[in-house]
Structure 1
Amino acid sequence: MSTGPLDYPQTDQATVNEGRGMRIAIAADHNGLALKARLIARLTAQGHEVDDRGAHADGVTVDYPPLCADVCGRVVDGHADRAIVVGGSGMGEVIACNKIRGIRAGLCHDRFTTEISRAHNDANVIVIGAKVLSPELAEEIVDLWFTTRFKGGPHQQRLDQIALLERGEPLT
């Protein structure tokens, strides 16, 4: 991770573009435990270092905001390059993640939103819904997300504006 001009995490292109060997924090609420386990196995087999931040117990209802805060904190503090959050729909999770300064979380349920979240928004957290995606499609989307490059250019200017909003500063 490097810090951008307005003090928000930017993905390290040298590491991220290859989609290999990244440090990934992952969490899921009770709805996403099975999919989380499947993604951990896949990402580990691809050579990533995966940090499972919970939840861990089947049959126990878990609140997602603390899980989101935990994995997002790992990204912001540089202990993880990127993060994955798995929920039922993913909607509450993406809202919670985007409350963390420096996080750009994308709710990705298809190829288009996945590519845009990375190419235009340099998303550093992907949120997926275990009740929305088949396990196979979830794997495809996560793979696409990890290998899609940020385009920069006018998109960087927009990220700079988002960083100003995060800091409560006026847009000029």
Structure 2
Amino acid sequence: MKIVMAADHAGFPLKEIAVEYLRKRGHEVIDLGTHDPQPGDDYPDFAIVACEALLRGDAPKAVVVCGSGVGVSVACNKFPGIRASICHDGYSAHQGVEHDNMNVLCLGARIIGREPALEIIHAFVNAEFTNEERHVRRLAKVHEIEQRFQKTDA
């Protein structure tokens, strides 16, 4: 599977571990940086490039990392069609995909350790949306909210 990865300066070390982990398991990782962490590497910039890559169809899923996971989650969810969530446990990571069709996993590098992070990434990457009627119905309601509040240029 193709997977987009991106991180700010705080998320860089965990991103590097995750990229190696995924590649060793046969995934094609599109690493959008940061590649040379600096304090000015702001999380919104990496949320933007990751979400734009998903919306272009470069990959079906992304993992985005910042210090807490909160910033990238907030930024990613500003994009129509992006369903991002912080997950610091495996259940939320796979359930978010299976029930809510989550396409961006947000992690907090200062919150979670290496091994739990890799387990969560594994759960996220290997999960698939169930397409059960109740989940499709709920996702349609989320899409209606998105459409209702989406800004358009006039």
1:21-170 alignment, distance < 5 Å: 22-153=1-132, 154-168=134-148
Query: CA RMSD for the aligned pairs?
Result: 1.3
Aligned-pair distance for 1:149?
Answer: 2.6
Q: Distance in 1 between matches of 2:50 and 2:38?
A: 22
Deviations 1:7-38 (A, max 9, x none): xxxxxxxxxxxxxxx11111001111111111
Q: Distance in 1 between matches of 2:145 and 2:63?
A: 24
Deviations 1:108-129 (A, max 9, x none): 1012321321121111110011
Q: Distance in 1 between matches of 2:93 and 2:60?
A: 17
More helix by share: 2
Which runs of 5 or more structure 1 residues have no equivalent in the other structure? 1-21
TM-score of the two chains, using structure 2 as the length reference: 0.91
Aligned-pair distance for 1:59?
Answer: 4.2
Q: Distance in 1 between matches of 2:146 and 2:75?
A: 14
Identity of aligned residues (%): 37
Letter in 1 for 2:32: R
Query: Structure 1 segments of 4 or more deviating over 6 A?
Result: none
Q: Distance in 2 between matches of 1:59 and 1:163?
A: 36
Q: Distance in 1 between matches of 2:3 and 2:99?
A: 21
Deviations 1:104-155 (A, max 9, x none): 1121101232132112111111001111110111000000111123222201
Which runs of 5 or more structure 2 residues have no equivalent in the other structure? 150-154
Larger displacement relative to structure 2 (143-152 or 52-61): 52-61
